[in-house]
Structure 1
Amino acid sequence: MSYQVIARKWRPQTFEDVVGQPAAAQTLKNAILQKRIAHAYLFAGPRGVGKTTTARILAKALNCVQGPTIMPCNVCDSCQEITAGNSIDVLEIDAASNRGIDEIRELRDSVKYAAARDRYKIFIIDEVHMLTTEAFNALLKTLEEPPPHVVFVLATTELHKVPATILSRCQHFNFRAISHKEIFDRLNYIASQEHVQISQESLNAIARAAEGSMRDAQSLLDQVISFCGREVEDDQVRSLLGIIPQQLLEGFTQAIIETDARQILLMVDQLVQSGRNLQHFVREMLSHFRNLLLVKIAGDDHQLIPLSSMDLVRLKELAGHFSEEDLTRFFNILVTTEGELRWSSQPRFHLEMGLMKILQAKRLVSIEELVAGLTDLMDAEKRLDSPAKEASQVNRPSSTSKFTVNSGSKTQSQPQVSPDPQTPFSNLAERLKSAIAQRSPMVSSLMDHAHGLQLMEGEIELQFTNQNRFYYEMLQSAENLEMIKELADSIVGRPQKVKVVLINGPFQPASSTEDKSSQKPSKSQLLDRVKSDSNVKTFLDAFQGEITDVKELK
Structure 2
Amino acid sequence: MSTQQPAYTVLARRYRPQSFGDVVGQQHVAQALKNAILADRVAHAYLFTGARGVGKTSMARILAKALNCPNAEKGEPCNQCEMCHAIATGGDVDVMEIDGASNRGIDDIRALRANVGIRSMRTRIKMYIIDEVHMLTKEAFNALLKTLEEPPPNVKFVFCTTEPQKVPDTILSRCQRFDFSSIETHAIAQRLAEIADREGVSVTAEAIDLVARRAGGSMRDSQSLFDQLLAFGGVEISAADVNQLLGTAGDERLLSIIDAIRRGDRAAILGEVDDAIHAGVQLGNLLDQLVNVYRDLMIVKCGAESVELLGVGPSQKPRLLEVAESLGLQTITTAMQILSETKSRLSRVPHVRALLDLALVRLSMLEDVESLSQLVTELRSRPAGTVLNVGAARPAAADPPQKKNPEVSPPADSYGAPPVIEVGDEPSVADEPAPVAQSEAEQITFTEANRERIWRELLSRVDPTVANFMRQATRTAVVSSTILEVVFAPRGQFARDMAQKPDQMRKLETCLQQITGDAIHVRLVIDESLAGPSTSREKPGAAAAIVKHEFVKQAETIFNATVGHTDRIRKS
Q: 1:43 aligns with which of 24, 39, 48?
A: 48
The equivalent of 2:179 in structure 1 is: 174
Q: Answer yes or no: is 1:77 the counterpart of 2:82.
A: yes
**Contact residue 61 and residue 69 of structure 1 kept, 8 A:** no
| Distance in 2 of aligned mates of 1:69 and 1:60 | 13
Q: 1:553 aligns with which of 515, 518, 521?
A: 515
The worse-fitting range, judged by mean Cα deviation, of 286-295 and 258-267 is 258-267
Give the share of equivalent positions with the same residue, in percent.
42
Give the aligned residue type for 1:76. C
The equivalent of 2:162 in structure 1 is: 157
**Contact residue 198 and residue 233 of structure 1 kept, 8 A:** yes
After superposition, the C-alpha distances for 1:425-478 in whole angstroms (9 at most, x for unaligned) are: xxxxxxxxxxxxxxxxxxxxxxxxxxxxxxxxxxxxxxxxxxxxxxxxxxxxxx
Instruction: Please say which structure displays the higher CA radius of gyration.
Output: 1
**Shift in Å, 1:146:** 0.7
The equivalent of 1:500 in structure 2 is: none
TM-score by length of 1: 0.69
| Distance in 2 of aligned mates of 1:18 and 1:61 | 14
After superposition, the C-alpha distances for 1:250-275 in whole angstroms (9 at most, x for unaligned) are: 12111112112222233333344455
Give the aligned residue type for 1:353. L
The equivalent of 1:358 in structure 2 is: 363
After superposition, the CA RMSD in angstroms is 3.0
**Shift in Å, 1:103:** 1.4
SS at match of 1:70: coil
Q: Answer yes or no: is 1:93 the counterpart of 2:93.
A: no
The worse-fitting range, judged by mean Cα deviation, of 270-279 and 349-358 is 270-279
The verdict on how the C-alpha distance between 1:380 and 1:276 changes in structure 2, with shifts beyond 3 A counting, is: closer
| Distance in 2 of aligned mates of 1:546 and 1:342 | 48
The equivalent of 2:406 in structure 1 is: 521
| Distance in 1 of aligned mates of 2:281 and 2:413 | 57
| Distance in 2 of aligned mates of 1:347 and 1:32 | 55
**Shift in Å, 1:211:** 0.6
The verdict on how the C-alpha distance between 1:199 and 1:275 changes in structure 2, with shifts beyond 3 A counting, is: closer
**Shift in Å, 1:320:** 2.1
SS at match of 1:553: helix
The equivalent of 2:352 in structure 1 is: 347
The verdict on how the C-alpha distance between 1:553 and 1:135 changes in structure 2, with shifts beyond 3 A counting, is: same
Aligned length in residues? 411
| Distance in 2 of aligned mates of 1:91 and 1:320 | 57
Give the aligned residue type for 1:213. S
Q: Answer yes or no: is 1:257 the counterpart of 2:142.
A: no
Q: 2:417 aligns with which of 523, 527, 533?
A: 533
The equivalent of 1:267 in structure 2 is: 272
**Contact residue 34 and residue 76 of structure 2 kept, 8 A:** no
**Shift in Å, 1:379:** 6.5
| Distance in 1 of aligned mates of 2:207 and 2:321 | 21
SS at match of 1:531: coil
**Shift in Å, 1:107:** 1.0
Q: 1:368 aligns with which of 350, 365, 374?
A: 374
Give the aligned residue type for 2:416. S
The equivalent of 1:130 in structure 2 is: 135
**Shift in Å, 1:535:** 5.3
The equivalent of 2:193 in structure 1 is: 188
The equivalent of 2:535 in structure 1 is: none
**Contact residue 299 and residue 316 of structure 1 kept, 8 A:** no
The verdict on how the C-alpha distance between 1:531 and 1:522 changes in structure 2, with shifts beyond 3 A counting, is: farther
The equivalent of 1:202 in structure 2 is: 207
**Contact residue 123 and residue 152 of structure 1 kept, 8 A:** yes
**Shift in Å, 1:380:** 6.5
**Shift in Å, 1:373:** 8.3
Query: Which is richer in helix?
Result: 1
Q: Can you give the 5+ residue segments of structure 1 that lack an aligned partner in the other structure?
A: 382-518
The equivalent of 2:223 in structure 1 is: 218
SS at match of 1:91: strand
Q: Can you give the 5+ residue segments of structure 2 that lack an aligned partner in the other structure?
A: 1-5, 391-403, 422-428, 437-459, 462-510, 517-572
After superposition, the C-alpha distances for 1:135-160 in whole angstroms (9 at most, x for unaligned) are: 11111111110111111111111111
**Contact residue 331 and residue 368 of structure 2 kept, 8 A:** no
Q: 2:342 aligns with which of 337, 340, 348?
A: 337
Give the aligned residue type for 2:56. K
